[in-house]
């Protein structure tokens, strides 16, 4: 009897201990928090952190979404995707689509590390912490680290020396291909790409879609509904906010990925605008599918002493956006679904007034000719930096041997009026959207790129004469730079009969990529494959452009193309 009593006491003690331990909220620190923000989180630490969260949270599933390429100085790394939803489902087919899905990805630029640290905090707080109530209104996909190589070496580029945020057209890098594969698999309604800018008065900046082929309704909803709510939420936390702005030499657009020489930039006035219209960045490249898509740029000095502070800005910038989207979840869901449905329906029938904009320029706004902003004015200091190693006079000084000097404790906040203000985007060239395109078999590299975009491609199985619209090249001046379209290209459309051979390809525009396909394949597109030398698409004067437009229904024998 005494033994039974003793056993019961032990059992009750253990039950009490169990309840004491497991009734408490589970607190798991991110690797950066554990290190007191004295170092950047690397892949192995991310693996351990996500493994712990995955064990404790039934709402979280962690999967391998991709793998980087191995190079001599750095082995391949896995890219991890956190799938977080109230039901704990890891399948897009089973996901509750009665609420919006948000896709967040970070650290495309390896030396912009605070987005990754904030993304890890978000995964933790959504799956185990105070943000868990958001799962009742939203589903989440979070890729916290897109560029392990860049994070390790604290450099912008990836292991292939590619700028990932200029690779969303070619998709050469495994990371950008992974981002698009995740998007096309899950088709989220909202996407957010996390970055860092310079040491700006506006600690958090958000940019929305700007390419004219994307429905203006998405841009209006971002600016009129979401941004004011985000600004209000951040203001309560004393975090300054403004829509993302870019300053650039007049007549130059570096968003294409071209590095201009100092001589070409010298003497040009500086213009200000909203972010790029290009489709090679993570915002417009996903927005082109009629997505509510954003880029977040947070203030940064890119040094470890400010990592905790700038991670905080990233975290609350993302959190404010998520809370604003959650407040308007039904509106977001209905708007995106309606726009995507309308896009496919429009692209299924050729209409001369259904146009695709191929060239755009930034324009002034006569109603708002100037922009007033605030910025820091820091006092001049003779200190240029702090040496991290011993050096003698005459020794070479390398960039990684010096760190920025501490920021001045005193600085002014001044108001500046920007006169070269170009807030509008206008179309310079547009064409009617065709029903589809014929791509000859020899252009297999084009097909590979389209497939990486998850664009549906069909293969011709029998020779057939059909009527197509071809482009005769009237005049052309090739670009001096890879990544830029021809300096000048004039074409004359003409209707011809052509033999489409077995093994050629047909790409219909009647799919979700209906806006993207013409932008990639048209010869006059400033966003197209013609601007990349590797595709060998630049024709000679008097020749016919290699790809043909189909504007009337044709009788082709087709099979879905699947690469082996």
Confidence tier at 124 by pLDDT (50, 70, 90): very high
Distance between CA 120 and CA 131 in Å, rounded? 13
Q: In this model, does residue 410 exceed pLDDT 80?
A: no
Average confidence score pLDDT of the chain: 92
- 8 Å CB contact between 65 and 79: yes
Distance between CA 457 and CA 303 in Å, rounded? 46
List C-alpha distances in Å: 184 to 273, 291, 508. 30, 12, 17
Report the first-to-last Cα separation within the chain, whole angstroms: 73
Neighbours of 209 (CB within 10 A): 26
Residue 337, both tokens = 């679904």
Tell me whether residue 355 is exposed, middle or buried, using C-beta atoms within 10 angstroms of its C-beta: 0 to 12, 13 to 18, 19 or more: middle
pLDDT above 90 coverage of the chain, percent:
84
Distance between CA 320 and CA 528 in Å, rounded? 35
Give all domains of the chain, ordered by start, each with its CATH number.
Answer: 31-347 (3.40.630.10), 371-390+399-424 (no CATH), 434-560 (no CATH)
pLDDT for position 409: 55
Residue 333, both tokens = 């869901």
> What mean pLDDT is predicted for residues 329-345?
98
Q: What is the DSSP string of 167-222?
A: -TTT--SHHHHHHHHHHHHH--SEEEEEEE-SS-SSSEEEEE---TTS-HHHHHHI
What is residue 111's three-state secondary structure? coil
Q: How do beta strands 204-208 and 60-67 pair?
A: unpaired
> What mean pLDDT is predicted for residues 220-227?
98
> What mean pLDDT is predicted for residues 282-307?
96
- 8 Å CB contact between 496 and 470: yes
Expressed in percent and rounded to 5, the helix, strand and coil fractions of the chain are 30, 25, 45
Q: How do beta strands 402-403 and 386-387 pair?
A: antiparallel
How many Cα atoms sit within 13 Å of 154 on the Cβ side?
Answer: 10
pLDDT above 70 coverage of the chain, percent:
91
pLDDT digits (tens, 9 = 90+) for 477-530: 999 999 999 999 999 999 999 999 999 999 999 999 999 999 999 999 999 999
How many Cα atoms sit within 13 Å of 386 on the Cβ side?
Answer: 7
- 8 Å CB contact between 257 and 245: no
pTM more than 0.85 = yes
Confidence tier at 394 by pLDDT (50, 70, 90): low
pLDDT for position 387: 77
> What mean pLDDT is predicted for residues 447-476?
97
What is residue 105's three-state secondary structure? strand
Distance between CA 168 and CA 162 in Å, rounded? 11
Nearest CA to 360 out of 248, 276, 272 is that of: 276
Angle ∠(549,550,554) on CA atoms, nearest 5: 155
Nearest CA to 133 out of 203, 185, 84, 92 is that of: 84
Neighbours of 216 (CB within 10 A): 9
- 8 Å CB contact between 212 and 218: no
């Amino acid at each position: 009897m005494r033994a039974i009593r003793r056993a019961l006491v032990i059992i009750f003690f253990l039950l009490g201990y169990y309840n004491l331990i497991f009734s408490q909220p589970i607190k798991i620190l991110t690797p950066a928090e554990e290190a007191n923000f004295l170092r950047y989180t690397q892949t192995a630490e991310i693996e351990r952190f996500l493994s712990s969260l995955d064990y404790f949270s039934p709402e979280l599933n962690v999967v391998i979404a991709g793998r980087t390429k191995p190079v001599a100085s750095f082995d391949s790394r896995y890219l991890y995707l956190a799938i977080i939803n109230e039901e704990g489902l890891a399948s897009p087919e089973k996901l509750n689509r009665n609420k919006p899905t948000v896709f967040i990805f970070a650290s495309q630029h390896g030396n912009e590390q605070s987005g990754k640290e904030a993304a890890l905090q978000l995964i933790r707080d959504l799956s185990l912490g105070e943000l868990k109530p958001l799962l009742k209104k939203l589903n989440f996909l979070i890729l916290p680290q897109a560029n392990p190589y860049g994070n390790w070496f604290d450099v912008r580029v990836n292991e292939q020396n590619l700028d990932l945020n200029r690779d969303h057209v070619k998709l050469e890098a495994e990371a950008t291909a992974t981002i698009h594969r995740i998007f096309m698999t899950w088709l989220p309604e909202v996407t957010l790409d996390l970055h860092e800018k310079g040491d700006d008065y506006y600690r958090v900046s958000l940019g929305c879609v700007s390419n004219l082929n994307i429905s203006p309704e998405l841009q209006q909803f971002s600016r009129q509904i979401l941004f004011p709510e985000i600004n209000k939420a951040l203001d309560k936390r004393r975090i300054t906010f403004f829509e993302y702005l870019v300053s650039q030499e007049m007549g130059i657009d570096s968003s294409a990925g071209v590095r201009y020489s100092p001589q070409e930039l010298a003497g040009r006035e500086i213009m200000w605008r909203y972010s790029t219209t290009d489709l090679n960045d993570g915002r417009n490249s996903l927005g082109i599918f009629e997505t509510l898509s954003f880029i977040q740029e947070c203030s940064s000095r890119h040094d470890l002493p400010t990592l905790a502070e700038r991670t905080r800005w990233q975290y609350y910038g993302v959190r404010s956006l998520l809370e604003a989207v959650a407040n308007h979840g039904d509106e977001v869901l209905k708007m995106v679904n309606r726009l995507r449905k309308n896009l496919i329906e429009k692209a299924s029938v050729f209409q001369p007034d259904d146009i695709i904009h191929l060239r755009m320029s930034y324009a002034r706004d006569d109603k708002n000719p100037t922009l007033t902003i605030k910025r820091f004015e820091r006092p001049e200091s003779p200190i240029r930096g702090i040496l991290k190693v011993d050096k003698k006079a005459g020794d070479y000084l390398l960039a990684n041997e010096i760190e920025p000097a501490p920021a001045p404790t005193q600085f002014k906040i001044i108001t500046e009026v920007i006169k070269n203000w170009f807030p509008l985007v206008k179309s310079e060239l547009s064409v009617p959207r065709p029903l589809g395109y014929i791509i000859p078999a020899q252009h297999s590299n084009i097909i590979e790129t389209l497939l990486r975009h998850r664009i549906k491609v069909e293969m011709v199985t029998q020779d057939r004469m059909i009527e197509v619209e071809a482009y005769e090249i009237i005049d052309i001046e090739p670009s001096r730079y890879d990544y830029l379209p021809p300096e000048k290209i004039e074409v004359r459309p003409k209707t011809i009969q052509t033999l489409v051979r077995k093994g050629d390809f047909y790409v219909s525009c009647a799919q979700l990529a209906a806006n993207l396909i013409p932008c990639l394949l048209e010869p006059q597109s400033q966003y197209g494959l013609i601007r990349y030398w590797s595709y060998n698409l630049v024709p000679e004067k008097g020749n016919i452009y290699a790809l043909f437009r189909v504007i009337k229904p044709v009788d082709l024998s087709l099979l879905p193309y699947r690469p082996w």
